[in-house]
Structure 1
Amino acid sequence: MSYDMFCYQCEQTAGGKGCTKIGVCGKTPEIAGLQDLLIYQLKGISFYVKKLIERGEKIDKAIVSFVENSLFTTLTNVNFDADVHVQLLKHSQEIKEKVRNMVGSCSDIPQAASYNLSDTKEDMLKDAKQAGIMFDQSLDPDIRSLRQTILYGLKGISAYGHQARELGYYSDQIDEFYFRGLEATTNDKLTVQDLITMTMRTGEMSVAVIQKLDEANTTIYKNPVPQKVNINVKKGPFIIVSGHDLKDLEMILEQTEGKGINIYTHGEMLPCHGYPELKKYKHLVGNFGGAWQDQQKEFDSIPGCIVMTTNCLMKPRESYKDRIFSTNVVGWDGVKHIKKNIDGKKDFSEVINKALELGGFAEDQTPKEILVGFGHHATLSYAGKIVDAVKSGKLRHFFLIGGCDGARPGRNYYTEFAKRVPKDCIILTLACGKYRFNKLDFGELDGLPRLLDIGQCNDAYSAVKIALALADAFDTDINSLPLSIILSWYEQKAVADLLALLSLNVKGIYLGPVLPAFLSPTVLQYLVDNFCLTPISTPEKDLESCLEQDVK
């Protein structure tokens, strides 16, 4: 069964308008259709659950987890396994029928709520047409734009919420918002202004969820500390752990201790080296490779194993398909998946045995180190020194250069920008966008490293906390600080991060490499008028504009 897909949720969408034949990410029309229908089901469930919330009824956390994980499953580069999607769809119908019966009769039911799932995958794909983004051609483009922005923000929130929940942390407020936000995307009574309000509310919930995840990570694994990380390889068997999930890394470290296996982080796992409760494992020896989009080349025929814990999975080449494993919501047809046991733990013995069988790297490379671990706790321990450096004129400006990386031509903008930052300025960075420049030597400024790696994409909270603390120190607000934010985006977690910053009234953000295709001209103009959101131009011009603000 063929499905006429349309997807524009990521930055690399075809032609900057939308993928219609196959996703640039590798998503097939079949997967696109099943994902569209799964989101449609979640919207239908949310219509009923919102009514239960308004009655004051407590919502089963199993339903929350299902919605959260299903949203996360449809995020870019997460799951490409059709069977997984069919099972999720069948479960969604069971939940829908349950909450529908709990609500009883009601009026103004949207089609997503009244729809009942078909029995076969072929019929599901036929039904998926009505769930498509562009199905209702008469829908106001600004309404569609805002509905999609809310949805993509929710997808980003779900990724962070999933990580926090895996560690036993969650928020009832955020849990309820999944349903309120999804219901808003089906409610024809809501105006453009109503949806703008809901979009900003999505940003507030993004702040709340990254704060909750920070609490989980720093409570369980302690506050990150500055740590040098080897980016070259060591002799011996190895496992590369990619994604974002600290708990999975911890389980792998525990199960490989004393077995002669080296553990490397990859991609967004790099910041894990700064957490005391993870870096204590001596066989956590370094970081392998660069950002997610280089994985096919970097993993090609390597003599070791890879575990993908969250998003950023690309189509595995045959040369390593037998040695890459997925877990959590990640999946690809034919890739071995590591599930939870009844006790909630995971058995990585198959990965371990495969790594030992492959034998690993034949010899050590000369060590080369980079510095990580400058979360809000570590960075603010230097607050007094930073304030003195600013007041004395030694430190002129801060640049937060970070976000999602990607393969689109033009992303060398971020490398060039970082290289051009004057030596009397400090660069803060986070997420995989850092790989564009984090192996360069920026030196020091008054005893401080000029490049401070704050952490993962979810550590946007660290950046905000640092900025707020500095604003307090200078008795001003964030927008009056000598601080510029140069943001790169790729997928929906970056959407959540951007909405988080906007909800905090952070203005003057430079966004690139291109603007989101799902922003209508009117919605984009609103962001420009109210938040001075600026598309990137050239490193020279944008850098000059940022530094001009200090003169004013």
Structure 2
Amino acid sequence: MEKNMFCFQCEQTAGCTGCTGAKGVCGKTADTARLQDELTGALIGLAHAADENAPLSDSTWKLMVEGLFATLTNVSFDDKAIAELTDRVHQEKARLRPDCGGCASPCGHNDDYDMNRLWNAQEDIRSLKSLILFGIRGMAAYAYHALTLGYTDPEVYEFFGKALFALGEDWDMDLLLPIVMEVGKYNLSCMELLDRANTTTYGTPSPVTVPLTVEKGPFIVITGHDLHDLKLLLEQTEGKGINIYTHGEMLPCHAYPKLKKYSHLKGNFGTAWQNQQKEFANLPAPILFTTNCLMPPKPSYMDRVFTTGTVTFPGTVHIDGEKDFTPVIQRALELGGYEEDQQFTGINGGTSLTTGFGHGTILGVADQVIDAVKKGAIRHFFLVAGCDGARSGRNYYTDFVKQTPADSVILTLACGKYRFNDLDLGTIGGLPRLMDMGQCNDAYGAIKVAVALAEAFGCGVNELPLSMVLSWYEQKAVSILLTLLHLGIKNIRLGPTLPAFLSPNVLNYLVENFGIAAITTPEEDLATLLG
């Protein structure tokens, strides 16, 4: 059945234009891409099925969130799991409109949307609809994590329906552009919801130094983004002689009081997601994937990969909704871990990482920061953040951070920080120059800090000595970028390449209205940003 695919939703898409062959750069096949399109088309149809006579229920919203999350890059590679999700969407649509089965009426309430209509649309329409679709896919990831902790927002959920409905309509640019900006607005609400869910459940993060040493004996590596899964794993492994190590975006979990209280949460293993095939190849331990960032496992470690939640890969053991991690625990005991302690390093040779500088911590020393700015000790702030990836050119971010002046502060978040987070940049005004604010969703915290500083100095965010230099890979970065644009933040530098789904006209709109620009060289960009 496999035919050529079309996908251009991630930064590494083939030729910076789109994956069109039998397999995408991320590793998904054309069949998987087709099934994800069918799932998306079913979700658009579900949004069209709703009206005053068939309102969407909480279960419908949750299904929309799960379905959108499953189509995010590096989440689900399992055709069966994707098809089952589509079946559930069809069942939900049938529940909403029980009298529509087999009806030949042209009302469209019972139709799935054909995604080829979107991919083959006029380029500006395709570009705007892609921004909407990829933005709500990223937002769905945050909504999913908040939902797991029991936190929901009816307005955010209703916007998912509104955005999906818009994707199925033949609207012009004037109607689609406001929806694009609304993605940013509601993603901000969604990130705030998740921030509240995480801090209420696990406490306010505080700075912590995390070792890169793996102690001898059985251990489990947990990767992804889901704090709830980590908490359950820590509970189920307590007292069993198994240590837990975070990987990738799970690093910031060490900063939460109710997670770091577990003495067997030992440290961090490895670096960013794109290095997993090399780093996991000879690992004498199982790896638990909790969300996206799964690369197709190599045969050398396929038997050590476990998935849970929405993330799936054929041939691996999937832990279902009951979240009984016994198979992972048993595999850890069987493999036994290292016979002696192993000292690993970051990309730049560091032996530990510091994290936990969330908005609660930074705003707690706001007076100290403001005083340092007024005295001239701090000249500039840089937010160097975003997704990491394998495409050449990402060393730019390491070089950029290394070349920032000694009187500047670097805030960072998401997995892009692994390019430089083991560097020792010293301190400034009694604070470390490099501060890790957490996961990608913690961009909300960076926004809170920026707004608070602007209020303290009586100016707008764009008037602060603050520059944003962002890297992107997948759809959560798209949703965050749209949030920054919704807030009117200008002159963002983006790389290593601009999104393939931005048409020339849409890109010109972003340049003219927001000053968004592609990165060039660290030297040139620093000279421009420092003025």
Residue number in structure 2 paired with 1:46: 47
Distance 1:494 1:133 in 2: 25
Structure 2 residue 186 is the aligned partner of structure 1 residue 185 = no
Residue number in structure 2 paired with 1:119: none
Distance 2:106 2:480 in 1: 33
Residue number in structure 2 paired with 1:19: 19
Distance 1:482 1:407 in 2: 31
Residues 133 and 431 (structure 1), Cα distance of their counterparts in 2 relative to 1, 3 Å cut: farther
5 Å-filtered alignment, 1:9-88, equals 9-21=9-21, 22-49=23-50, 51-52=51-52, 59-88=56-85
Shift of 1:363: 1.1
Shift of 1:321: 0.8
Residue number in structure 1 paired with 2:230: 249
**Aligned with residue 354 of structure 1, among 301, 312, 331:** 331
Letter in 2 for 1:89: T
Letter in 2 for 1:451: L
Letter in 2 for 1:96: K
Residue number in structure 1 paired with 2:215: 234
Letter in 2 for 1:243: G
5 Å-filtered alignment, 1:109-188, equals 109=107, 113-115=109-111, 130-132=114-116, 136=120, 139-188=121-170
Which sections of structure 1, spanning at least 5 residues, go unmatched? Answer: 117-127
Distance 2:453 2:99 in 1: 50
5 Å-filtered alignment, 1:198-217, equals 198-217=179-198
Distance 1:387 1:103 in 2: 62
Residues 135 and 450 (structure 1), Cα distance of their counterparts in 2 relative to 1, 3 Å cut: closer
Shift of 1:141: 1.4
Letter in 1 for 2:235: E
RMSD in angstroms over aligned alpha carbons? 1.7
Distance 1:413 1:102 in 2: 58
SS at match of 1:322: helix
Distance 1:505 1:84 in 2: 39
Residue number in structure 2 paired with 1:97: 94
Residue number in structure 1 paired with 2:314: 333
Shift of 1:94: 1.3
Letter in 1 for 2:57: D
Residue number in structure 2 paired with 1:529: 512
Deviations 1:149-194 (A, max 9, x none): 1000000010000000000001000111111001001111x22021
Q: What TM-score results when the alignment is normalised by the length of structure 2? A: 0.96
Distance 2:2 2:327 in 1: 36
Deviations 1:450-481 (A, max 9, x none): 00100000000000000011111101111000
Residues 316 and 222 (structure 1), Cα distance of their counterparts in 2 relative to 1, 3 Å cut: same
Whether the 8 Å contact between 1:431 and 1:457 is mirrored in structure 2 is yes
Residue number in structure 2 paired with 1:284: 265
Which sections of structure 2, spanning at least 5 residues, go unmatched? Answer: 345-350
Distance 1:273 1:487 in 2: 24
**Aligned with residue 363 of structure 2, among 380, 384, 396:** 380
Q: What TM-score results when the alignment is normalised by the length of structure 1? A: 0.92
Residues 500 and 109 (structure 1), Cα distance of their counterparts in 2 relative to 1, 3 Å cut: farther
Letter in 1 for 2:336: G
Whether the 8 Å contact between 1:5 and 1:132 is mirrored in structure 2 is no
5 Å-filtered alignment, 1:257-296, equals 257-296=238-277
Structure 2 residue 341 is the aligned partner of structure 1 residue 364 = yes
Structure 2 residue 378 is the aligned partner of structure 1 residue 395 = yes
Distance 2:497 2:104 in 1: 43
Shift of 1:66: 1.0
Residue number in structure 2 paired with 1:546: 529
Distance 1:487 1:131 in 2: 30
SS at match of 1:132: helix
Shift of 1:362: 1.4
Letter in 2 for 1:82: D
Distance 1:437 1:171 in 2: 36
Distance 1:69 1:325 in 2: 19
Aligned length: 523
Distance 1:547 1:102 in 2: 64
Distance 2:79 2:55 in 1: 33
Distance 1:520 1:479 in 2: 26
Distance 2:387 2:273 in 1: 9
Shift of 1:114: 4.1
Residue number in structure 1 paired with 2:348: none
SS at match of 2:383: strand
Shift of 1:366: 4.8
Letter in 1 for 2:324: D
**Aligned with residue 285 of structure 2, among 304, 329, 339:** 304
Residue number in structure 1 paired with 2:471: 488
Distance 2:222 2:174 in 1: 43
**Aligned with residue 437 of structure 2, among 446, 450, 454:** 454
Shift of 1:97: 2.1
Distance 2:370 2:382 in 1: 16
Whether the 8 Å contact between 1:508 and 1:533 is mirrored in structure 2 is yes
Deviations 1:178-220 (A, max 9, x none): 11001001111x2202111000001101101000000000000
**Aligned with residue 499 of structure 1, among 482, 490, 495:** 482
Distance 2:141 2:99 in 1: 28
Whether the 8 Å contact between 2:12 and 2:25 is mirrored in structure 1 is yes
Whether the 8 Å contact between 2:93 and 2:110 is mirrored in structure 1 is no
Distance 1:219 1:193 in 2: 40
SS at match of 1:471: helix
Shift of 1:134: 5.8
Residues 253 and 193 (structure 1), Cα distance of their counterparts in 2 relative to 1, 3 Å cut: same
Shift of 1:99: 2.2
Shift of 1:103: 8.9
Shift of 1:100: 3.2
Shift of 1:142: 0.9
Shift of 1:365: 3.3
Residue number in structure 2 paired with 1:120: none
Letter in 1 for 2:203: K
SS at match of 1:240: strand
Residues 208 and 135 (structure 1), Cα distance of their counterparts in 2 relative to 1, 3 Å cut: closer
Letter in 1 for 2:377: K
Shift of 1:144: 1.1
